[in-house]
């Protein structure tokens, strides 16, 4: 293999190790954090300053501002976060992403392999799941530096190449060209952290004069281009999402583009400021830290500029992506909480699943109410609404089961999270069964409306009593899932016994009415069938509260 090919493959191999290590560290950190992420994510939905701080913290864990922005887009699209809150989180994400560059600036060449070995050893021999994840985090951290070292080794010949030096001189003297280089690099790699790591590694190489081959002044424009390039991921994630989600993605772009536009005019003063706040020493020894500090300073200063102007940012993105129409209540009713882009972030994905099951639960609760209105008051509109909701619940059920399957196949869930998510799936199955039982009753109700069946007054009252019992039982089941209250959950078992007794009693009453000629024989099947459908709802409610007994409940984002 010739020298050029060896350099290219060495650079690509080092970059691959770096990105693999970064993704592995992100996934392991999330698993180590576990339920603590609920507190961090809970802060996201508070005020703008808290959102910014939480955005920085989440990004430090996820090791990617793009990942945080995708998460925010999912939350905003689902209506769980306002546009203003979402934008403030994105501001914080830009600060949080600078942590990776700060880590890369440490000179730990002599300790890389011991770190890799220690991480591997802990992950290999640990029995406890969390300890294993700690080992994986340490191992991944070491891999980051293995990748950096590999890239640094293959870049040394480039630093003395006349052709490459000429190219770097052009980039150093034409800042816009440097911005373009950084932009293209990040678009190709889809990670600003990776391209900044490459930049740090390359800038640490000595040119013919013994100084950095590019210098801080030449590196800053490339850094600005990296910050612009990272916004493309968010733009792509917003395709097909709500208008507010698109606005969040555009806010990310506006933030970085406007910041880069300002800083490109003050590169030399900015470089002097960075040199002033960075460690002193030989340029080759300190430039990696200088680049990390420049990256952090750019994002902190840009955030301090934009945070007081948050309402202005909202107006800008509202102007770029305008509303076509007023959003109706029906639009919100049919709006899914699920976002496939968030599926690799366990706590966030579990929260969205919980919200989607809640939505399903509300629709089924409406169906029970509609069934009662139709039986008791011959309300044809209520029956039409019941049938419409039944179709919607079936669709939601299919989509949510597919989403949960994706969470498991992704492999990002811990054992505890897997158990909880499986419990949520069982709850969804029971809610879907309740919907099916209501749907099974609708032909009988429709026939009653059309005059094919004319139940006696006593029969209608009995059906009303059974539906009342079902409604109380179902709502009690949902409440127990909301608050995890096992005492409330146990009440459902009593309602279940009462429901079974009512079915037996009212079937006997119907037979008595037959003997007295108060009911026609052909009404026996529809009446008994409807009672049976309602009685089977009790089994599904029992199933829901049994999950509550196993500590399954709808996931809440806790406030710190």
Torsion of CA 73, 75, 80, 84, to 10 degrees: -40
Please tell me the predicted confidence (pLDDT) of residue 330. Answer: 47
Rank 52-66, 426-440, 454-468, 521-535 by mean pLDDT and report only the highest.
426-440
Confidence of residue 532 (pLDDT cuts 50, 70, 90): confident
CA–CA separation, 282 and 263 (whole Å): 26
Please tell me the predicted confidence (pLDDT) of residue 43. Answer: 65
C-alpha distances in Å from residue 259, one per residue of 238, 266, 295: 22, 11, 12
C-alpha distances in Å from residue 430, one per residue of 386, 538, 541: 18, 10, 7
Tokens 């546009």 sit on residue: 83
Confidence of residue 329 (pLDDT cuts 50, 70, 90): very low
Closest by CA to 80, choosing from 242, 308, 313, 322, is 242
Please tell me the predicted confidence (pLDDT) of residue 263. Answer: 93
What would the mean pLDDT of 545-557 be, rounded to a whole number?
A: 83
Residues pairing with 369 in the sheet: none
Tokens 């989403």 sit on residue: 403
Contact 111, 13 (CB under 8 A): no
Residue 146 φ then ψ, to 5°: -60, -45
Contact 150, 112 (CB under 8 A): no
Residues pairing with 136 in the sheet: none
What would the mean pLDDT of 228-246 be, rounded to a whole number?
A: 78
Whether 354 has a pLDDT exceeding 50, the answer reads yes
Q: Name the CATH code of domain 331-549 (choices 3.30.420.10, 1.10.20.140, 3.50.50.60, 1.20.58.220).
A: 1.20.58.220
Residues pairing with 206 in the sheet: 212
- For 219, other C-beta atoms within 10 Å of its C-beta total 31
Rank 44-58, 328-342, 479-493 by mean pLDDT and report only the highest.
479-493
- Give the E-state strand segments of 12-169 in sequence order: none
Confidence of residue 169 (pLDDT cuts 50, 70, 90): low
Confidence of residue 42 (pLDDT cuts 50, 70, 90): low
Angle, alpha carbons 224-230-235 (nearest 5°): 130
Coil/strand/helix, residue 206: strand
- For 487, other C-beta atoms within 10 Å of its C-beta total 7
Whether 246 has a pLDDT exceeding 80, the answer reads yes
What would the mean pLDDT of 397-404 be, rounded to a whole number?
A: 94
Contact 397, 468 (CB under 8 A): no
Whether 112 has a pLDDT exceeding 60, the answer reads yes
pTM passes above 0.75: yes
Closest by CA to 238, choosing from 347, 351, 342, is 342
Coil/strand/helix, residue 10: helix
Closest by CA to 358, choosing from 409, 396, 403, is 396
Torsion of CA 124, 58, 252, 94, to 10 degrees: -90
Confidence of residue 99 (pLDDT cuts 50, 70, 90): confident
Coil/strand/helix, residue 150: helix
Confidence of residue 62 (pLDDT cuts 50, 70, 90): confident
Closest by CA to 169, choosing from 217, 122, 126, 202, is 217
Please tell me the predicted confidence (pLDDT) of residue 434. Answer: 92
C-alpha distances in Å from residue 151, one per residue of 9, 10, 212, 458: 10, 6, 16, 83
C-alpha distances in Å from residue 489, one per residue of 478, 482, 535, 539: 9, 11, 18, 14
Confidence of residue 82 (pLDDT cuts 50, 70, 90): confident
Confidence of residue 31 (pLDDT cuts 50, 70, 90): confident
Whether 127 has a pLDDT exceeding 80, the answer reads yes
Please tell me the predicted confidence (pLDDT) of residue 328. Answer: 43
CA–CA separation, 455 and 260 (whole Å): 75
CA–CA separation, 499 and 504 (whole Å): 9
CA 41 to chain centre: 10
Residues of the chain with CATH 1.20.58.220: 331-549
Contact 105, 289 (CB under 8 A): yes
What would the mean pLDDT of 468-497 be, rounded to a whole number?
A: 89
Whether 293 has a pLDDT exceeding 80, the answer reads yes
Q: Mean pLDDT in the chain?
A: 83
Contact 476, 492 (CB under 8 A): yes
Q: How far apart are the first and last CA of the chain?
A: 56
Closest by CA to 262, choosing from 316, 301, 211, 319, is 301
Confidence of residue 168 (pLDDT cuts 50, 70, 90): low
Q: DSSP assignment, residue 214?
A: S
Confidence of residue 150 (pLDDT cuts 50, 70, 90): confident
What would the mean pLDDT of 29-54 be, rounded to a whole number?
A: 71
CA–CA separation, 224 and 221 (whole Å): 5
Coil/strand/helix, residue 153: helix
Contact 337, 359 (CB under 8 A): yes
């Amino acid at each position: 293999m010739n020298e050029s090919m060896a350099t290219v493959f060495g650079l690509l191999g080092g970059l691959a190790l770096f990105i693999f290590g970064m993704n592995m560290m992100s996934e392991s950190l999330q698993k180590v954090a576990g339920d603590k992420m609920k507190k961090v994510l809970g802060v996201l939905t508070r005020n703008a300053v808290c959102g910014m701080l939480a955005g920085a913290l989440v990004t430090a864990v996820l090791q990617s501002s793009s990942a945080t922005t995708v998460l925010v887009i999912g939350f905003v699209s689902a209506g769980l976060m306002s546009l203003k809150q979402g934008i403030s989180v994105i501001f914080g994400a830009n600060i949080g992403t600078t942590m990776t560059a700060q880590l890369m600036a440490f000179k730990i060449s002599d300790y890389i392999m011991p770190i890799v070995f220690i991480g591997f050893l802990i992950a290999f021999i640990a029995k406890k799941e969390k300890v294993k994840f700690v080992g994986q985090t340490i191992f991944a951290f070491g891999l980051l530096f293995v990748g950096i070292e590999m890239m640094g080794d293959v870049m040394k010949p480039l630093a003395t190449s006349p052709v490459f030096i000429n190219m770097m001189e052009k980039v150093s003297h034409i800042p816009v060209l440097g911005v373009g280089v950084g932009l293209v690099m990040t678009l190709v790699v889809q990670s600003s952290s990776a391209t900044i790591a490459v930049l740090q590694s390359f800038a640490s190489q000595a040119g013919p004069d013994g100084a950095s081959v590019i210098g801080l002044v030449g590196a800053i424009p490339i850094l600005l281009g990296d910050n612009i390039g990272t916004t493309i991921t968010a733009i792509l994630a917003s395709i097909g999402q709500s208008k507010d989600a698109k606005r969040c993605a555009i806010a990310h772009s506006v933030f970085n583009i406007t910041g880069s536009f300002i800083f490109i005019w003050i590169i030399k003063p900015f470089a002097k400021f960075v040199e002033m706040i960075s460690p002193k020493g030989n340029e080759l020894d300190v430039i990696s830290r200088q680049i990390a500090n420049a990256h952090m300073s750019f994002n902190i200063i840009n955030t301090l500029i934009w945070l007081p102007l948050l309402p202005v940012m909202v107006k800008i993105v509202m102007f770029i992506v305008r509303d076509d129409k007023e959003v109706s209540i029906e639009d919100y009713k049919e709006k899914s909480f699920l976002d496939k882009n968030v599926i690799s972030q366990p706590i966030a994905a579990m929260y969205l699943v919980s919200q989607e099951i809640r939505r399903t639960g509300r629709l089924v609760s409406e169906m029970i109410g509609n069934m009662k209105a139709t039986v008791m008051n011959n309300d044809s509109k209520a029956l039409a609404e019941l049938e419409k909701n039944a179709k919607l619940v079936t669709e939601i059920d299919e989509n949510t089961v597919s989403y949960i399957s994706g969470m498991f196949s992704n492999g990002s869930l811990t054992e505890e999270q897997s158990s909880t998510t499986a419990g949520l799936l069982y709850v969804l199955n029971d809610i879907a069964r309740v919907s099916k039982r209501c749907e099974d009753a609708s032909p009988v109700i429709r026939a009653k409306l059309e005059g094919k069946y004319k139940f006696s007054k006593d029969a209608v009252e009995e059906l009303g009593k059974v539906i009342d019992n079902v409604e109380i039982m179902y709502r009690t089941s949902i409440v127990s899932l909301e608050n995890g209250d096992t005492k409330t959950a146990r009440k459902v078992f009593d309602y279940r016994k009462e429901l079974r007794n009512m079915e037996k009693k009212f079937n006997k009453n119907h037979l008595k009415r037959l003997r007295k000629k108060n009911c026609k024989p052909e009404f026996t099947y529809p009446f008994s069938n409807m009672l049976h459908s309602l009685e089977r709802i009790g089994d599904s409610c029992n199933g829901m509260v049994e999950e509550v007994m196993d500590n399954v409940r709808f996931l809440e984002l806790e406030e710190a």
